[in-house]
């Protein structure tokens, strides 16, 4: 059976690809899309999610807007990567897919509580504010969720400070809640996603597919490349978020190992760091896993296939 997921996102160039992959692949049943402030303000990322849904004809999946700021911090957006709109680089259609009249946190809770136990997987690809709020508001969801597969963190790599990845840094209190909730959790961090590069052969393949979505994605990746070069000196941009969905479609895409993970909140220089303990024997009750390697070809083949199906 297809894996039922809630994609909690902040589109975002790579979130857009994650959304397309989740909607198009038959191994995934996308039951809801929720948005959270992160790459840009809540209004902008929600508008982007609806525009992408309009582009790919996704009319049967509810979209709900969630938290417009972190639990404690002031909002901190990534316009140096994603631009003023949150998804600069191409012209997306005017959003025609409606926004649900429900807060994302409530939609997450209701979807999980109204589904059979262990059938819903949470896939957060932005700040973890919505997920933390849902777990706090209705703790029963923790035992009912099948697993959480999130994009964020890194055990060696960082990108927003010397020690922290953006999604975790912007709301580390929420991350602390999510990582310590007790559900099965897999961290898809920068150590893996920095291998998912949109290299020239990738853009060439998107050109060959030659559908409206594939050309839009190529344009987005061209802009993404420029911004990553200017801000982080990457020759080719890493496409972080869809690795989560690809792993759920085909677990052989990414090797994972079990390891305790926690979030640093108080370090003057390390706030938001994901601390992964590879040094000790893993306790039998450990429920956190971390991605350590990526099969890049399998990953991109899944993306290409999704773009063909949408086209």
Q: How many CB atoms lie within 10 A of CB 216?
A: 23
| 240 belongs to the catalytic site | yes
Strands lying side by side in the sheet with 147-151: 63-65, 28-35, 3-9, 120-124, 147-151, 185-188, 288-294, 254-258
Alpha-carbon distance of 158 to 162, in angstroms, equals 6
Catalytically annotated residue among 194, 240, 266, 280: 240
Structure tokens at 135: 């777990």
Catalytic residue ranges: 240
């Amino acid at each position: 059976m297809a894996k039922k997921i809630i994609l909690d996102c902040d589109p975002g160039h790579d979130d857009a690809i994650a959304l397309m992959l989740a909607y198009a692949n038959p191994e995934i049943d996308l039951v809801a899309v929720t948005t959270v402030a992160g790459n840009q303000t809540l209004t902008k990322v929600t508008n982007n999610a609806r525009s992408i849904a309009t582009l790919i004809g996704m009319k049967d999946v509810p979209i709900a807007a969630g938290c417009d700021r972190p639990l404690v911090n002031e909002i901190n957006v990534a316009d140096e990567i994603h631009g003023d709109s949150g998804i600069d680089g191409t012209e997306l259609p005017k959003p025609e897919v409606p926004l649900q009249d429900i807060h994302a946190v409530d939609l997450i809770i209701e979807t999980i509580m109204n589904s059979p136990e262990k059938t819903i997987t949470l896939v957060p690809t932005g700040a973890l504010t919505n997920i933390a709020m849902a777990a706090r508001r209705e703790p029963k969801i923790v035992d009912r969720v099948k697993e959480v597969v999130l994009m964020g963190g890194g055990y060696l790599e960082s990108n927003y400070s010397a020690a922290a990845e953006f999604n975790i840094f912007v709301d580390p209190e929420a991350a602390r809640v999510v990582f310590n909730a007790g559900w099965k959790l897999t961290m898809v961090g920068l150590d893996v996603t920095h291998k998912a590069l949109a290299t020239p052969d990738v853009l060439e393949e998107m050109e060959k597919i030659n559908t409206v979505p594939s050309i839009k994605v190529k344009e987005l990746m061209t802009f993404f490349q420029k911004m990553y070069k200017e801000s982080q000196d990457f020759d080719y941009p890493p496409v972080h978020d869809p690795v989560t969905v690809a792993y759920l479609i085909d677990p052989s895409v990414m090797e994972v190992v079990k390891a305790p993970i926690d979030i640093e909140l108080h370090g003057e220089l390390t706030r938001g760091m994901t601390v992964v303990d590879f040094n000790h024997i893993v306790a039998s009750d450990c429920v956190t896993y971390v991605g350590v390697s990526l099969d890049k070809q399998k990953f991109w083949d899944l993306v290409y296939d999704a773009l063909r199906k949408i086209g």
